[in-house]
Amino acid sequence: MSRYEEFYRQSVDAPEAFWAEQAKLIDWQTPAEQILDASQPPFARWFVGGTTNLCHNAVDRHLAARGDQPALIFVSTETGAEKIYSFKELHAEVQRTAASLMELGVGKGDRVLIYMPMIPEAAFAMLACARIGAIHCVVFGGFASGSLATRIEDAEPKVVVSADAGSRGGKVIAYKPLLDEAIRLSKYKPAAVLLTDRGLAPMDLTAGRDHVASELRRKHLDAEVPCAWLASTDISYTIYTSGTTGKPKGVQRDVGGYAVALAASMKHIFDGRPGETYFSTSDIGWVVGHSYIVYGPLIAGMATIMYEGLPTQGIDRQPDGGIWWRLVEKYKVTVMFSAPTAVRVLKKQDPALLKKYDLSSLRALFLAGEPLDEPTARWISEGLGVPIIDNYWQTESGWPMITIANGVEAKPSKFGSPGVPMYGYRIKILHESTGEELTAPNEKGVVVVEGPTPPGFMQTVWKDDARFVNTYWKSVPGKMVYSTFDWGIRDEDGYFYILGRTDDVINVAGHRLGTREIEESISGHANVAEVAVVGVADALKGQVAMAFVVPKDGIAVTDADAALKLEGEIMKVVADQLGALARPARVRFVSGLPKTRSGKLLRRAIQAVCEQRDPGDLTTIDDPATLQQIRQLVSSA
C-alpha cells in the first residue's frame, strides 16, 4: 500500500482519530469534547465542544513569528494599484473594520452581506465578520440587482458592505445604483450600508442608512477588537450556489471544521509553507476565493495575492498576456490556483510570455472550476514545466474532493482526470436508477459521497434543513448518499474522470449558473410563451448558455429583424436581472419545444443536438419536428 493509500484508509476507517490529529494544525481556545457527532445523518458535526476563531487562525496567531511578513498583496491592473499588507497591518485593518461594523450594530450571529470588487476592503470585511462572530455572505460583484435582491431577502443582513464601483477591462461598473435597486426590490431592508469610495463612480447616499467606510475607519484607527471564541459548530458564513430551481441555495459552513479542513488541505494537497506566496486568480464571490484567496493561505501563514483585473491586462492597463507570470516572478509565488478558461485565454497569447519571467519559485499550478481538457493541460504543462494538478470540488464541499495530494505523496497527474478521492471523502460511483455501486473500470454513473462528510463540508442549506436533505441526499433511489450531480467514471488505477452534470446546472468559465434561473428570467418578457435553456460545450468557456424561445406572437420565428430585436430585449432582461454572466450566448426562436407525451421538456436532447451528438432514444418525443427545427437552426449558424 502506498503512503497516500495508507493515509486515505486511516481517514475513512478511523475518521475521529485522523481528524483529531489534523485539528492540531490550528489554534483552539477550548479543545473539542467530541471529534465527530454523526448521530443524526446526513448531518455531521465536527469538533463538538471546541471553541476557536477563523480570524485568529488566519491573522492573530502569526503576529509573533511573522508579523512583518507580507500577508495580503493587492494588485489591480484596473487602477494600477499595488500594495502589500503585512500580518500586523492586516490585523490593524481588520480590527478597524470590525469596530466599524460593531458601531453599525453588528454582533455575533448577525448577517453581513458583502457585495464588493476584488479589493482589500472585501477581505478586511470577511475577516472582521469572522473576528466578531458575524456570519458573512459574499455575493459576486458581477451579479445584477435582481439576483442581489433575492440574496438580501434570504440572508436578511443587518449591514451590507459594498463600494462605489468595480472595474473590468477598463470599464467601470457602478455598484451603488445596483445595490440601491436591489434593496428597493427586496422585501427585507438592511439597517445600514457601509461603502468604500474608490473614486471611480459618484454615489448618492441615503441619509441614515449609508455610511462611508473611510469616515468610520478614522474613528477607529487604534481599535482593539478581540476575537470572539466561537463554538466549532457555529456558522462562519453562507454562500449562494445555483441550483436546479430558480431559488439559489445558501450553502452554510461551520467554523472549526472549515478551519481544520483548510489547514489540512494547505499542507497535504497544496504543499503550501509559511512565509511563501499563494496566488489564486479567483474571486471572493466564489467559494475558491473564500477558501484559497482569504482563509486557506493565511491560516497556513502564507502571503496571498488578491488580484483585480484580466489575465491579459498589465498594471499600466495596456494589453499584457504575461501579467500573471510577472507577479509569480516578483512575489516568488510557490502555489498558483486558476481555472481552465483562464488558461485557454492565455493560450491565445504569445507562448514566449511563459519563458519571459523567472518562474523557478512555482512548484505547481492547480486548476479547477470546470473540466480541464487535455490539450489545455498539455499546453500549460509544457510551457511552465511544473506539475499541472486538476482538482474537483464544489461550493458545497469547501475544499477539493478529488485531486492529487502531493503534500502526502508525489503522484503523477493524468490529463483529463482530477485525480483520486481525497482523505475524508468516501467517493463512489452509483447507477443512476438502481443505486447499485459500479466498481468495474470505466462504468459511467453518478459520483456520490457516503456520509459522514468530512470537516469543511457544508453543514446544511441556510434556514432549510429539509432542502439540504431532499436535494442532496435523496436523489439516488434507496440510498442516503450525497449526490454531486455529476456523471463520472473511474479507471483501473482509481483515477476519476468527470463527465458532466446530471442536472440543469452549467459551468460558464468556472462560474456555476442554474439554467432554470435563466429560464425564469427570460419567461418574464411579455412576448415569451415558453423557453428552454441548455448548456452547450464551448472551446473557450467550457460551456455557454443557449436559449430556445417560443414567442407569443410567433413573428420572430419567421422574421429575421423581429428575431434580432426580440433577442436583444431578452438579453437585456437577463443581464438586468441576473447579470452579464448569465446572459445566453444566443437566443433562438422556435415554434415549439421538444417534449415527451407527458409534457416533460427534453433538455438533454436539445443539448445533444446543439453539440452535434446523438440525442438518443426519441420514441417518447411528442412532436419530432420541434427537435428537427432546432437541428436546422444550429446547423445553419
* pLDDT one-digit tens code per residue, 175-184: 999 999 999 9
Provide the pLDDT confidence category of residue 364 given band limits of 50, 70 and 90.
Answer: very high
What pLDDT does residue 26 have? 98
pLDDT at 539 over 90: no
CA distance 40 to 44: 7
Whether the CA torsion 121, 126, 127, 133 is positive or negative: it is positive
pLDDT in tens, 223-275: 999 999 999 999 999 999 865 455 779 999 999 999 999 999 999 999 999 99
Is-contact 52 28, C-beta < 8 A?
A: yes
pTM here is 0.85
pLDDT at 620 over 70: no
pLDDT at 558 over 80: yes
What pLDDT does residue 144 have? 86
Q: Cα separations (Å) of 253 from 93, 130, 131, 398, 446?
A: 25, 12, 15, 8, 24
Long-range CB pairs of 430-437 (<8 Å, 24+ gap) are 430/476, 430/479, 430/481, 432/476, 432/502, 433/477, 434/477, 434/478, 435/476, 435/477, 435/478, 435/479
Q: Which range scores top for mean pLDDT: 39-53, 314-328, 572-586, 611-625? A: 39-53
Q: What is the CA radius of gyration of the chain?
A: 24
What pLDDT does residue 428 have? 97
pLDDT in tens, 303-358: 999 999 999 898 888 889 999 999 999 999 999 999 887 888 888 788 888 889 99
Domains delineated in the chain:
86-223 (3.40.50.980), 428-501 (2.30.38.10), 505-635 (3.30.300.30)
Provide the pLDDT confidence category of residue 616 given band limits of 50, 70 and 90.
Answer: low
DSSP assignment string, 401-453: SEE--TTT------TT--BEEPTT-EEEEE-TTT--B--STT--EEEEEESSP
Q: How many CB atoms lie within 10 A of CB 107?
A: 12
pLDDT at 597 over 80: no
What pLDDT does residue 115 have? 98
- The dihedral region occupied by 301, where left means phi > 0, alpha psi between -120 and 50, and beta the remainder, is left
What pLDDT does residue 246 have? 56
Q: Cα separations (Å) of 201 from 80, 83, 160, 166, 196?
A: 17, 22, 18, 9, 11
pLDDT at 556 over 90: no
What pLDDT does residue 193 have? 98
